[in-house]
Structure 1
Amino acid sequence: MTEDFLLELRSEEIPARMQEKARADLAALFEARLNALNLPFESIESYATPRRLALIVRGVAEMTAAASEERKGPRADAPAQAIEGFLRSTGLTREQLVERDDGKGNKVLFAVIDRPGIVAGSVLASAISHVITAFPWPKSMRWGAASETTESLRWVRPLQGIIALLGDKLVPVEVAGVKSASVTVGHRFHHPGGITIGSAADYIEKLRACHVIVDGAERRAIIAVGAKLAAQKAGLTLIEDEGLLFENAGLTEWPMPLLGRFDEAFLDVPPEVIQLTARVNQKYFVCRDSAGKLANAFVCVANIDAADGGEKIVEGNQKVLAARLSDARFFYETDLKTRLEDLTPKLEKIVFHEKLGTVADKVARVGMAAHSLMGHVIAPEDDALSAEAAQAAALSKADLVTGMVGEFPELQGLMGSYYAGAQGASANVALAIRDQYKPAGQSDALPEGPVAVAVSIADKLDSIASFFLAGMPPSGSRDPFALRRAALGVIRMIIANNLRFSVSALAGNCAESLVLQLASGERDVHAAAEALRGSSPPLTGHGARLDALLAGVNAKQGGYLASFEELRGAVRDFFADRLKVQQKEAGVRHDLIDAVFALGGEDDLVRLLARVKALQSFVTSEDGRNLLAGYKRAANILKKESWAPGEVADNEIYEAEPAEAALREALDAAEPKAEAAVEAEDYEAAMAALASLRAPIDTFFDDVTVVDPDEFKREMRLGLLARIRDAVNNVADFSKIEG
């Protein structure tokens, strides 16, 4: 026979953000404990409301299964002290031990301990105590007189009651002075009195009758449907927000969505500000009108079924929101009075990182990189766009010192865009300021327009280059500066916009700018470059003088890389790794990316991916698989023979075998075709040229003895294998390809 078990842990209000995890933790901890104590059960379901965590364990067995444990002890002729110690550890007498032969002529003592089954109530009581004391709250507290000692119980908020019922019988348990009972409380306002619970079977419905909906998913559904209907009734569309849905469900036990209004005059404030004010400060949903614009309406979620239909509640919430929106409008209007360019000097007082200078320093580097990227890659010879990229970069961080972003950091970039537009900046500049942080994730939208792309790539590459140069790359699971996400964003933008440039070269340029700033004390990168090395165009190489400057910076602060070449190599490797992650979802094999990167110096990602995709198509074909097998056979023979090219005597008379001559002719034809195709970036044609080698290579290995006793023949044939290897490796390093 089995019964259901009910546990409720009632406390003062649990923060909404903690409830879902706490509900899952309660079920996981209890399940693990019952399994450890060998008490069979069928399933566990858990619930959370603002004032309680609860779980129901279905189909609990009457008792644990009886078990027998066997322990090996000392030999029968062991010293008395050893035997007595073993007896104490088992709780048995000498007569209860069993002697057995160990196969070597020795008698060894064994203890056979029969453990009877334990009744479910005792096991459940033990599990309750364990789970309460071991519960992993992210933040917890002690309370009352017991809190004078650190050994007292910690809970998220003071624990007030425990219900523990197996079937209709109470499971006695006491934790920190709180004893289990069968009584709980209903809704704080609708039913503050006690409720007697008979069993798990009537728990949910008895609480529902007392205005408490135990299931968080049900509360979320009520809020979602109710909020939509309230908006539709007013001719509006609710702006859905899953995070807000969970939060409101965590704040209410009897949710009642209500529609309210605010003054239309507030709609002059940017809609994102209104939405964030309503969401963050008040936990309100907002609505759109029929034209898709933000409406002067909101949906709040009350925790009470008011007699007046919620009129007073709505009225109170409208007043509170009006005050919040008045503050937001004040920030907005005040910020507009100061031009963004006049705010940029304040960035000199904001430290970007102690080893990387200020935000103003970073802005200068990003401006140089964005101008270079626009003028050399995205829109060559378009001076107007290059100037806009530089202007957008210069203004990009100015909104960090505005009142609005100080109140809502989530709006950085967006508010700068609004302010720039209002102050006469071009649409390209405003878009670039708005989109500088995009994409923030794999599913986030990409920046709009060439200027925005230039600024976003420059900003992200500068961060990657700067932290790498300062010896702070991502390590293991740690990535405190979100450099992996930045690299994935750069890759997405490069691919989407078909941008052709060397990632490591631009990163090296950013790192060079950083060192020039640190070494010269000048923020203006061009001025520092003029003073220290003379003028040079962007995206150029780095010489010994700059490495010497880097060494000087290292001597003062320490921790930086030793050279710019090391920096560029580290960035190349980093992007290779990120590219493998990014392309995995597209079905591109990581070993093929390795094969192309192994050629060295290749980090034009557009060209690289074109080569990789052509390679993947080729190696999955029959010709490709056979050529790969022939290549690996040739490479293995060359490795085994430790072959290196040498001189061949002119007086040797050598008549090549037919298969040997055919392979040489095939190589003579295929090599120049493949090289020309690679040069023209026609990788499909390069693969097709290599495919022509398949049959001659197969015939060569079938008909010719490569490692011939004749030294001259052996050298000539090994030379042919080397030509095969080199011809194939001109397209990709086939040794990196699996299979």
Structure 2
Amino acid sequence: MPDLLLELFSEEIPARMQARAREDLQKLVTNGLVEAGLTYASAGAFSTPRRLVLAVEGLNAESPTVAEERKGPKADAPEQALAGFLRGLGITDAAPVMALAGQPSGSHVHLNGVVIEVRDDKKGQILYARVTKPGRPAADIVAEVVERTIRTFPWPKSMRWGSGQLRWVRPLHSILCLLTTEAGSDVVPVTVDHLTAGNTTEGHRFMAPGRFAVSSFDDYRAKLLAAHVVLDSAEREAIIWNDATTAAFAQGLELVEDKGLLAEVAGLVEWPVVLMGSIDEAFLGLPPEVLQTSMKEHQKFFSVKAPSGRIEKFVTVANRTTVDEGETILKGNQKVLSARLSDARFFWENDLRTVKAEGLEGMGAGLADVTFHNRLGSQADRVARIADLAAELAPLVGADPALATQAAQVAKADLQSDMVGEFPELQGLMGRYYAEAAGLDGQVAEACQWHYSPLGPSDVVPTAPVTVAVALADKIDTLTGFWAIDEKPTGSKDPYALRRAALGVIRLVLGNGIATGLSQILSRGVEQHGGATDVVADLLGFFHDRLKVHLRDQGVRHDVIDACLAMPGNDDLALLVKRAEALQAFLSSEDGTNLLQGFRRAANILGQAEAKDGVEYSFGADAKFAETDEEKALFAALDLADGRIGPALEAQDFAAAMTAMAALRVPIDAFFEAVQVNSENEIVRRNRLNLLHRIRAACSSVADLTKIAD
């Protein structure tokens, strides 16, 4: 069984595109091979800055012969119908087929490799075509699939060069395409515009120039390594990480982990060489996050910190070894780094001067000239709304309203700073530094940094009361504002990240155990924007949809969530989740499963009787009409449960309410075993139906069990 080796060699592929390109190459080629009838044992894709590579092991030598049968029209069908059927088979002469009409079943003709046969059927004689597609050699199939893959490759951006029509991310220089067996290797005849596949490739651009031939994937990988090219990006990442952490450890320092930067740098080099350089003492007074961000964004440097947390050195990754062991490279990098950090220091010092002279309010004054949305006003308008809302939310989260107001008023000020203008990803964090420099309360400074959080499902949830108040106000203002102007998410489109904002509110509420109804808070936000009252109900429904997604990710069943959403007070998210968790735990027990069956039986019998009689059996059940011990026991059990469930629900102790419900299981089971509800005595029948209503009411007081799936 042959193995396939494919290499597409080009100018430098952007690092950010390489991972997706590997996946696309493997998917397009292997899917194409399988669709053409070739199976394979395994496949793996690789990339370096200058090449995309696919290795496929255990290919079939040829595709199998495939026989296909197609049912056609009646043998005596009009010539036009026969011609249409035959045209799909590549047959133009209908006369031999028309002659089959009236012939014995099994009669057939051979036309263009297709067998046309007539068979008797209930509806008369029917034509059938047997089409045999012979197998094809793997090389022919591979050539077609590879050419199609190259011509239709889904690069995010591509280019043409020279006079050719081929589009690729960067100019494509060569194609290596081999099928290797124990007998040797053969070049697959792939031709794409001016390029024809061969069996040669190139090593490192500087350390091993020139082309060389390969005969298999193992030979290819070994020769690349000898030519100073590490093929596997994961292996390059490991080399960079191990060498960098070792170099830092040797000096008593620690490399700052950054998986995204590690993957990017591994996509920039074919032969990684780790070099450690020093940062000029003049820049070490900058906040460590500024140093780290500047080095990462501008230079792709890793930060190296001392045990104290101060950034002191950097690690750069060269793409070659040099006779001076990287000294010249480091000097050049340090020169460029000094220029970049000089800019950062200027921004930092200029921002501090502004804060010292005008305070954070002065820094943020320009927000009045920044439009947040043309229908929602400026950023300054938004800050004023957030401040009002934060003051109202403060008592609910245990925060000082004055501090919450102050924090909201200055939390966005750093958006006007030079530093955030250069590095937008530092917004919030720089606000904390500037708040501290302005001498503001520590709680205000903390809110400046963390009020954007949580930004996603795995982001940290703030717990400091002032921060929580501002974070909630920020997100609720966004949601109510866009709902008020009817700019809601549609399908997969969510340009204002409103789903993320709603999830942020949910996580803040649940993470901090905030027991309050959302409706009133949302109403206040909608009121600020002049929205209609029906907006609140629609927005609350949006929160419920996001809560369902969040809880399903936490393992809570969708029907359990629906059963709890159907209850009053469903705008109290913390209470709703507490109810859902208790219900799921209850339904997972044997008592819960059996009680659910008893509830359904009672509800079904009651529903049928009410539909038949045209009345509602919802009151008047009296123990004096009970005829059996089981009936009397159920009355007593319901009396006891009602006395326990009500207080438990009032105390929001859903576990205790479920326990009280569980006590009904045995008497309900016994009742249905011993008692016929539809008694011939009409008084007894009505009493028993009213008793079933008590079962339904007791169980439904905890959750709408009709929503629970079978």
Q: Is the 8 A contact 1:236 1:287 kept in 2?
A: yes
Query: Which stretch has the larger CA shift, 454-463 or 665-674?
Result: 665-674
State the match for 1:520 in structure 2.
Answer: none
- Please point out which of 212, 216, 219 is paired with 1:195: 212
TM-score, with normalisation over the residues of structure 2? 0.89
**Per-residue Cα deviation, 1:525-584 (whole angstroms, up to 9, x for no partner):** xxxxxxxxxxxxxxxxxxxxxxxxx4xxxxxxxxxxxx42x3333343333333333333
Q: In structure 1, what is the equivalent of residue 337 of structure 2?
A: 321
From 193, 205, 208, the counterpart of 1:176? 193
Alpha-carbon distance, 1:250 to partner: 0.8
Point out where structure 2 has 5 or more consecutive residues left out of the alignment: 97-108
Cα–Cα, structure 1 residues 68 and 455, in superposed 2: closer, same or farther, change >3 Å? Answer: same
Map 1:415-564 onto structure 2 (within 5 A): 415-515=430-530, 550=531, 563-564=532-533
> In 2, Cα distance between the equivalents of 1:70 and 1:48?
44
Shift of the 201–621 alpha-carbon distance from structure 1 to 2, 3 Å rule, reads closer
Of the candidates 145, 166, 170, which is equivalent to residue 153 of structure 1?
A: 166
Answering whether residue 644 of structure 2 is matched by residue 644 of structure 1, we say: no
- Equivalent in the alignment of 2:58: 59
Identify which of 322, 326, 333 aligns with 2:349: 333
Instruction: Quote how far apart the aligned CAs of 1:414 are.
Output: 0.8
Q: In 1, distance between residues paired with 2:272 and 2:509?
A: 47
| Residue of structure 2 equivalent to 1:346 | 366
Q: For 2:252, give the aligned amino acid.
A: G
**What is residue 251 of structure 1 aligned with on the other side?**
268
Structure 1 partner of 2:627: 657
Tell whether the 8 Å contact from 1:399 to 1:413 is kept in structure 2 after alignment.
yes
Is 1:700 aligned with 2:671?
yes
What displacement does 1:214 show? 1.7
Q: How does 1:5-404 map to 2 (within 5 A)?
A: 5-79=4-78, 83=82, 89-91=88-90, 94=96, 95-96=109-110, 97-104=115-122, 106-146=124-164, 152-167=165-180, 168-291=185-308, 293-338=309-354, 339-375=359-395, 377-379=396-398, 385-404=400-419
| Residue identity opposite 2:37 in structure 1 | N
State the distance in 2 between where 1:713 and 1:290 align. Answer: 82
Give the aligned partner of residue 577 of structure 1.
545
Cα displacement (A) at 1:243: 0.9
Residue of structure 1 equivalent to 2:99: none
Task: Report SS of the residue matched to 2:177.
Answer: strand
Given the alignment of the two structures, is residue 682 of structure 1 paired with residue 653 of structure 2, yes or no?
yes
Query: How many pairs does the alignment contain?
Result: 678
- In structure 1, what is the Cα distance between the partners aligned to 2:67 and 2:672? 67
Question: Which piece of structure 1 moves more, 153-162 or 107-116?
Answer: 107-116
- Structure 1: how far apart are the matches of 2:117 and 2:43? 45
CA RMSD of aligned residues (A): 2.7
CA contact (8 A) 2:620 2:690 kept: no
| Native 8 Å contact 2:618 2:690 kept in 1 | no
1:733 maps to what in 2?
Answer: 704
Distance across 2 between alignment mates of 1:647 and 1:600: 22
The answer to whether the 8 Å contact 1:648/1:712 transfers is no
SS at match of 1:671: helix
**Residue 242 of structure 1, CA deviation:** 1.1
Worse overlay, 652-661 or 89-98: 652-661
Cross-structure match for 1:629 = 597
Quote the Cα distance in structure 2 between the aligned partners of 1:622 and 1:290: 55
Shift in Å at residue 496 of structure 1? 3.1
Q: Label 1:702 to 1:261 Cα distance change in 2 as closer, same or farther (>3 A).
A: same
Unmatched tracts of structure 1, length 5 or more: 147-151, 516-549, 551-562
One-letter code of the match for 1:644?
E
Give 1:131 shift. 0.7
CA contact (8 A) 1:99 1:107 kept: no
Deviation of 1:499 (Å): 1.9
Please say which of residues 586-595 and 234-243 is displaced more in the overlay.
586-595
TM-score, scaled relative to structure 1? 0.86
CA distance in 2, matches of 1:23, 1:612: 43
Contact persistence 2:623–2:632 (CA under 8 A): no
CA spacing shift, 1:193–1:725, aligned 2, 3 Å: same
Q: Identity over the aligned pairs, expressed in percent?
A: 48
The amino acid of 2:296's aligned partner reads R
Q: Cα 1:299–1:644, aligned 2, differ >3 Å: closer, same or farther?
A: same
CA distance in 2, matches of 1:72, 1:498: 67
Structure 1 counterpart of 2:46, one-letter code: Y
Q: CA deviation at 1:352?
A: 2.2
